[in-house]
Each structure stands twice: as C-alpha cells, then as structure tokens.
Amino acid sequence: MELTRRGFLAAGGAALAGSMAFELSNQSSAFAFDADQEWKLVNTDEYTNICCYCSGGCGSIISVQDGELINLEGDVDHPISAGGLCSKGATMFQLRSVVTEDTRKVIPNPNRRTKPMVRRPGKADWENISWDDLISEVARHVKDTRDATFEETDKDGVVVNRTLAMASLGGSQQNNEEDYLIVKAMRSLGLVAIDNQARV
Ligand code: SF4
C-alpha cells in the first residue's frame, strides 16, 4: 500500500488520539498525587556534606529534622559529582540512621559505633577503649615490634635498614597528599610492605 503524506498524518493523528483516549480511560493511581501525604522534607534544615568513603570527595545534601538525619541525596550543585553518588556513597545515610521494617520510621542506627573498641589477643569479646589509650597502645606496639625486628643488614651484609614484621595498608579515604606523607612516615620506620586501597 502506498502511503501518502496526507494519509501518514491522518494515521498518526488517529493513533495519537487513540493513545490519549486509552490513557484517560485507564488512569493509574501511580500517577495520582496524594495531597494528604506530607512531603518528607518539609521543615528540615539542609546541609552540604562530603562523602566519607573515598577521596573522590563527592558531595551530598543532608536533611535534618529535630536534630536527626532523615534524608541524604546527591548534591546537584557539587562541582565534582554533580548530584551523583556511587553505591557506597548512596548508602551513607545508614551510617547514622536506618528505616525500620515495620513502621518505616527513621531511627538512629543501633549498630553505629561512636567509640573505639579493642579485642585483646585470645579474647572473644570487644571492649571499649579511650582514644588516648588506643593511640598509646598502638604506638607502644609499633615501637616494641620495630625494636625487636629491625635489621640493619641482610644475611649477606648488605645495608637494608628495614623491618619485615609490620605492614601499612591505607584506606580509600586517603588522597595523594596524605598517602605521600604516610609513605614517608612508614619508610622512616623501615617498613617495606606499604600499600593503599584504590577508589571504588
Ligand atoms: S565515588 Fe562513591 S565512595 Fe567515593 S566519594 Fe563518591 S560517592 Fe563516596
């Protein structure tokens, strides 16, 4: 069948009219706005925030109501991420708050740890420790281990000035400049095994 320009336009118009008629007669509640439901970001204070998970530094907007975090989403005005968050960053909300399965209410995350903890050798349980004690204990372990294992020369008499008993593994939060300083500090202790986690 030959389709003329007039015929094409007539057929297109009929198809469009048919489509609109179908939509109007089959309106789904999914398109309806529930005017009784309060928008969840009403009466919230908004703050800008930087993702804590990696040194990519993506930006987010956090919404706070009565001192509690109730929403977190990508910041479209952020110059690096322009509103995007990766899967880790998108779950940053759960560091502080979770939504209950039954009531769908936002509550503080009961599993959130706000203080350092330590599990002693041979112990099954974790115990709380102050930041001061934690730093002192780590420093003492580093000093004792280095003193006990430092080698000035290897078995052939070659100067090595190293310890093979410790390693350094950085997290993805560290940026280039921080890693530079960490490598300097670890090399000054004589560490050889130094690595860093990449971005996500
Ligand atoms: S890439 Fe992901 S983890 Fe890294 S800063 Fe952005 S959102 Fe956070």
pLDDT tens for the chain, residues 1 to 200: 566 666 666 666 666 565 555 555 555 555 555 666 778 888 899 999 999 999 899 999 999 998 888 899 999 999 999 999 999 999 999 999 898 999 988 888 999 999 999 999 999 999 999 999 999 999 999 999 999 999 999 999 999 999 999 999 998 888 889 999 999 999 999 999 999 887 65
The model carries a pTM of: 0.67
CA of 57, closest atom in ligand 1 = 5
Which residues span the domain enclosing 154? 117-196
Laid out side by side, the sheet with 59-65 consists of 45-50, 59-65, 68-74
Domain co-membership, 101 together with 121:
no
Domain co-membership, 59 together with 83:
yes
CA of 54, closest atom in ligand 1 = 4
What is the phi/psi pair of residue 135, to 5°? -65, -40
Take atom 4 of ligand 1 and give the residue whose Cα is closest.
54
**What tokens were used for 142?**
């580093």
SS3 179: helix
Q: How far is the CA of 183 from the centre of ligand 1 (A)?
A: 23
Q: What contacts 148, CB < 8 A, 6 or more positions away?
A: 165
Q: Looking at the 3D structure of the chain, how many domains does it have?
A: 2
What is the phi/psi pair of residue 80, to 5°? -90, -50
Domain co-membership, 190 together with 124:
yes
Sign of the dihedral defined by the CA atoms of residues 69, 73, 77, 82, in that order: positive
CATH for 70: 3.30.200.210
Is any ligand 1 atom within 6 A of the Cβ of residue 160? no
Take atom 6 of ligand 1 and give the residue whose Cα is closest.
58
The verdict on residue 169 lying in a domain is yes
